[in-house]
Amino acid sequence: MAVPTAPPQTDSSTVGFFSLPVLVAALGYFVDIYDLLLFGIVRVPSLSDLGLSTDQISTVGSIILNWQMGGLLLGGILWGVLGDKKGRLSVLFGSILTYSLANIACGFIKNVTFMDPVTYYALMRFVAGIGLAGELGAGITLVSEILPTEKRAIGTSLVAGVGLFGAVVAYFTVKLFDWQLAFLIGGGLGIGLLLLRIGVVESGMFTSITEQNHIRRGNFLSFFTNRNRLSRYLKCITIGLPTWFVIGILATFSNEFGTALGIAEEVQPGIAIMWCYVGLAFGDLASGFISQSMASRRKAVALLMGIALLFSIIYLYFGVKSASLLYILCLAMGFGIGYWAMFVTIGAEQFGTNLRATAATTVPNMVRGLVIPMTLTYQALKPSLNIINAGALVGFFCFLLGFYAILTIPETHGRDLDFLED
């Protein structure tokens, strides 16, 4: 049940799209995406450099990706709870320091002698995953709470749209330098961002409830103690499943799909991921305006999800015969899953101020964590169904659950966020 809070201490009507909190959140997400996607881009060259065979690169690469996603899952809970207990800014500082140091450590993998380098690689991606879990949820929560209602959808879309270009920069960094230096650059960018965050102020909505000692903040288990709240929480998570099906299966393993489709030239996952994120960035920028024009979060997300489904089917079953066309389809699918910012915004808007950071931080990382069963299922089904059908079956359930969730979750367009969960 929603309970009104005391009036916030900051006047959100004076905050614009290009205020310092919005710009810092966008740049923070830029670095977050750079580091998050870097392993997917360097997976093949880095593991090849460590002496793994082609078959090992597929299986070991999946294992390391799952360790990173497991870190995101655990980190989402950690930073989400801290975001509601200690503040949105504490998460922004702590998470970026964690993943920056872990990425710097990844730059020295080939120099590791005290343990197996592959095990070290997986461990560092796990730590990086924990750090990466806090950035987006805390940033979207902060921006959602400081922007006026009529600017919220476009503001959060700008944050994600700018941030997602980090994948493009990551790809070209790897092309210009090497994968080890790319990790070091990512860590350095994160450390540099800490200086920019010094001038960012805390959300007024959060500050107002810290003065009310009787309010319980950041109680993760409370999502599971109320049927209505649990339903909203699970639907928030399942809305995001198609996004990471496209990224974690179709783009990340695009080299395998390319071989299965009979494409003669080599398909490079790094290029596929880059084009997917270019599309995702434009989709995220568009989603805020689509939501605003339709006066509905649900309609905007359902429209984009339908576009993603259409191009996923074309990718798998319409006989793609060139790497160039496959990359174009990754761009189109990326645009379709460009409701990522809107999806996180919906997660923030569904819950009161005392649970908002917990929801907005755990929801996207629960989706990222579900990449683990996605990849395990895909790998397990390949021998019996073949690569194409294995990917399609995983995608079928992701889109089915995604459409059900977005069509049944409460609408939050124009909702006043100044309320609490009891």
pLDDT confidence of residue 12: 45
pLDDT confidence of residue 81: 80
Q: Find, among 33, 38, 27, the residue nearest to 177 by Cα.
A: 38
pLDDT confidence of residue 141: 73
Residue type for position 121:
Y
pLDDT confidence of residue 55: 80
Query: Is 272 within the bounds of a domain?
Result: yes
| Residues ≥6 apart with Cβ < 8 Å to 418 | 4, 5, 7, 8, 205, 353
Query: Is 208 within the bounds of a domain?
Result: no
pLDDT confidence of residue 272: 92
Looking at residue 212, the DSSP 8-state letter turns out to be -
Q: Which two tokens stand for residue 289?
A: 């305006």
Residue found under tokens 């596929």: 272
**Burial label, 46 (beta-carbon count in 10 A; 0-12, 13-18, 19+):** buried
Q: The domain containing residue 156 runs over which residues?
A: 15-197+224-415
d(CA 253, CA 245) in angstroms, rounded, equals 11
Torsion, Cα 163 165 171 177, to 10 degrees, reads -70
Average pLDDT of each block of 10 consecutive residues along the chain (422 residues)?
42 55 77 82 86 84 86 85 71 82 91 89 93 77 73 74 77 86 90 70 50 61 88 94 94 92 89 89 86 89 96 93 94 93 85 80 85 90 94 96 95 74 66
Beta bridge partners of 419: 4
Q: Find, among 232, 235, 233, 247, the residue nearest to 394 by Cα.
A: 247
**Under 8 Å between Cβ of 250 and 330:** yes
- Please give the C-alpha separations between residue 50 and each of 13, 45, 239, 269, 396, in angstroms, as whole numbers: 54, 9, 37, 18, 35
pLDDT confidence of residue 214: 52
| Residues ≥6 apart with Cβ < 8 Å to 134 | 75, 76, 78, 79, 80, 82, 83, 91, 92, 94, 95, 96, 98, 361
Q: Which two tokens stand for residue 295?
A: 């006066």
**Under 8 Å between Cβ of 7 and 141:** no
CATH number at residue 370: 1.20.1250.20
Query: Is 420 within the bounds of a domain?
Result: no
For the chain, the domain total comes to: 1
d(CA 357, CA 92) in angstroms, rounded, equals 11
Query: Is 113 within the bounds of a domain?
Result: yes
Query: Is 244 within the bounds of a domain?
Result: yes
Query: Is 74 within the bounds of a domain?
Result: yes
pLDDT confidence of residue 208: 53
Query: Is 2 within the bounds of a domain?
Result: no
Query: Is 8 within the bounds of a domain?
Result: no
Looking at residue 419, the DSSP 8-state letter turns out to be E
Looking at residue 219, the DSSP 8-state letter turns out to be -
